[in-house]
Structure 1
Amino acid sequence: MFAIIQLIDSLISLYLWCLFIFVILTWLIQFGVVNTQNRLVYLVVDFLYKITDPVLRPIRRFLPNLGGIDISPIILVLALIFIRNLIVVDLAKLL
């Protein structure tokens, strides 16, 4: 059972890293620091978009329009940290 908890913790941590990298890359693209014409950059951004957008899309639907500011990644990070703490800390105490 401990291995399952550790696996879930690792998967959530990996997803959080992917989300952070995606957010930073989108900022760099918007500011013109990184060019999506580069094939490697395009592949990385496309992969990260495909794994983060299905989770971010429902959150965006419920958030009000803030004039170009997307806070859905912040909401997702807070939710994932809460879930990770709930699973890892609280479930580990029960075992």
Structure 2
Amino acid sequence: MIIPLLQIVDLLLSVLLWIIIIQAILSWLVAFNVVNTHNDFVRQVLFALSRMTEPLYRPIRRIMPDFGALDFSPLVVLLIIQILRSIVLPAVARAAIGG
């Protein structure tokens, strides 16, 4: 019963991982003027990605020191996701199976 639930959680964490990676790449493209933010589609994609990830970044930004223009909160969130996927979920699965 719990294994399918853990698979869904793993899938959601994987999707979130890709959302953060896409947001980072898109923000770099905007920073280097490769992508124009005056384009409505680009602006809407950036806005949507920001709305999805900002609740995850906000608590980390409160804890981490200010590094000026560098924002390490996406990196911290990616690290937390990887820890959850590689350590926590397998441990929960093993505990649920009883081994």
Above 0.5 in TM-score?
Answer: yes
- Does residue 10 in structure 1 map to residue 11 in structure 2? yes
TM-score by length of 2: 0.89
What is the CA RMSD across the aligned residues, in angstroms? 1.1
Match of 1:89 in 2: 90
- Quote the offset at 1:88 in angstroms: 2.6
- Quote the offset at 1:86 in angstroms: 3.1
Match of 2:55 in 1: 54
Unaligned runs of 5+ in 2: none
In structure 2, what residue type is equivalent to 1:90?
A
Unaligned runs of 5+ in 1: none
TM-score by length of 1: 0.93
Determine which structure has more spread, i.e. the larger CA radius of gyration: 2
In structure 2, what residue type is equivalent to 1:86?
I
- Quote the offset at 1:36 in angstroms: 1.2
Q: Retained in 2: the 8 A contact 1:5–1:87?
A: no
Q: What stretches of structure 1 move > 3 A for 4+ residues in a row? A: none
Give identity over the alignment, percent.
37
User: Number of residues paired by the alignment?
Assistant: 95
Deviations 1:59-86 (A, max 9, x none): 0111111121111111111111111223
Q: Distance in 2 between matches of 1:37 and 1:70?
A: 23
Match of 1:38 in 2: 39
